[in-house]
Amino acid sequence: MNLRFLETFVWLAKLRNFRMTAEKLHTTQAAVSSRLATLEQELGVRLFDRGDREVTLTHEGGKALVFADRIVRTAHEMVDSLKDRALFTGVVRIGVIESIIHSWFPDLMTRIHRTWPQLEVELAGDTTIKLIEQFGKGNLDLILQTDNVLGANVQNIALCDFPMRWVGATSLNLHGELLTLADLANFPVLSFSRNSGPHRFLERLLDEQVGRRVHVNCMTSVSAMVRLVVDGFGLAMIPPAIIQRELANGDVQMLKLDMEMPDMPLVCSYRAGPETPLFQQIAAQAQQTAQDFARSLPAHVARLPSATAVPDPWSPISASS
């Protein structure tokens, strides 16, 4: 069975248009039609129903697509595995949240440069919400953030988990006592960007547990939030993984609370397809880097991904006493 014909079938199933498929494969519409006809003859089934402007998969076509996509993907992976990685050129666009930038991302950049020395990395640091938005528009190739992304051909792989702890400036002298959320609410509360998972979690949790409206100050900059905590402006629920230097210097202290906070799951999302084996390899490098980071630190700082999937780790019910 001709691999090129299978690849034509896969792309026509994705694009649902002969002209666009021909342009993608740098051939003619007649060639696409001929390849498809030959493949249908070999398989003995009709793969598509033809419309005026686009084609749709038949029931048999849908079943065949699963196998065709797997065959094409495997063939591309085989060819790619035999290439000299040092010869990879071009630009890969990676979106990263600040919590990763301030922890293990420099190690990932070192690995990428060592593996693909000719590859350029275009970095976008932003919030999870904005990274997913840009990824959906096709402006980013991979994103390292906190939420699984739904979509055609999008793959999500777990990286590691960051435990979340309440912290405050050492000068506030709060670290020696057991605190409640009501105690914390007497200070300005700092959080990640508005409508992020941690922000939604805090607003709901404080509303339920404190019994009065607590204003949560949202920060799009993690660096600014850490600076404000160090200066004693307020308290924040953040991963200890991103403030290791401040903790070591004694600028901030982890506070003792009468309930546990959820972990922050870190995820790599990328588009998987025959033409993007590089993204899958970089995602694997990101996973290895994140998990090496987690293994090198105590469990209260970083952990390997939880074996039990949590649909919404930022629901207040996930916080246990």
Statement to judge: residues 269 and 129 lie in one domain:
yes
Per-residue model confidence (pLDDT) at position 99: 94
Statement to judge: residues 249 and 109 lie in one domain:
no
Quickly state the pLDDT bin for 75 (edges 50, 70, 90). Answer: confident
The enclosing domain of 214 has a CATH number of: 3.40.190.10
The enclosing domain of 77 has a CATH number of: 1.10.10.10
Quickly state the pLDDT bin for 197 (edges 50, 70, 90). Answer: confident
Q: How many residues in the chain?
A: 321
Quickly state the pLDDT bin for 320 (edges 50, 70, 90). Answer: very low
Quickly state the pLDDT bin for 51 (edges 50, 70, 90). Answer: confident
Predicted confidence (pLDDT) at residue 85 exceeds the cutoff of 60: no
Last residue of a domain, one of 239, 261, 283: 261
* pLDDT tens track for 241-256: 999 999 999 999 999 9
Predicted confidence (pLDDT) at residue 178 exceeds the cutoff of 90: yes
Per-residue model confidence (pLDDT) at position 96: 97
Statement to judge: residues 288 and 221 lie in one domain:
no
Predicted confidence (pLDDT) at residue 81 exceeds the cutoff of 70: no
Statement to judge: residues 71 and 105 lie in one domain:
no
Quickly state the pLDDT bin for 84 (edges 50, 70, 90). Answer: low
* pLDDT tens track for 266-313: 999 998 776 567 898 999 999 999 999 999 999 999 999 876 655 567
Q: Assign residue 281 a region: left if phi > 0, alpha if psi is -120 to 50, beta otherwise?
A: alpha
Statement to judge: residues 180 and 238 lie in one domain:
yes
Share of residues in the chain with pLDDT > 70 (%): 91
Statement to judge: residues 190 and 77 lie in one domain:
no
Of 1-10, 123-132, 307-316, the range with the lowest mean pLDDT is 307-316
Average pLDDT of the chain, as a whole number: 88
Predicted confidence (pLDDT) at residue 240 exceeds the cutoff of 60: yes
Statement to judge: residues 62 and 192 lie in one domain:
no
Statement to judge: residues 271 and 257 lie in one domain:
no
In the chain, the number of structural domains is 3
Statement to judge: residues 248 and 281 lie in one domain:
no
Statement to judge: residues 128 and 269 lie in one domain:
yes
Statement to judge: residues 92 and 171 lie in one domain:
no
Per-residue model confidence (pLDDT) at position 315: 67
Task: Describe the crossing of helices 105-115 and 277-295 by its angle, rounded to 10 degrees.
Answer: 130
Q: Are the CB atoms for 100 and 286 separated by under 8 Å?
A: no
Per-residue model confidence (pLDDT) at position 318: 45
DSSP for 127-189?
A: -HHHHHHHHHTTS-SEEEESS---STTEEEEEEEEEE-EEEEEGGG--TTSEE-HHHHTTS-E
Last residue of a domain, one of 54, 81, 108: 81
Quickly state the pLDDT bin for 186 (edges 50, 70, 90). Answer: very high
Q: How far apart are CA 49 and CA 59, in angstroms?
A: 10
Last residue of a domain, one of 81, 98, 133: 81
What tokens does 140 get?
Answer: 């980013």
Range of the domain at 200: 165-261
Statement to judge: residues 154 and 171 lie in one domain:
no
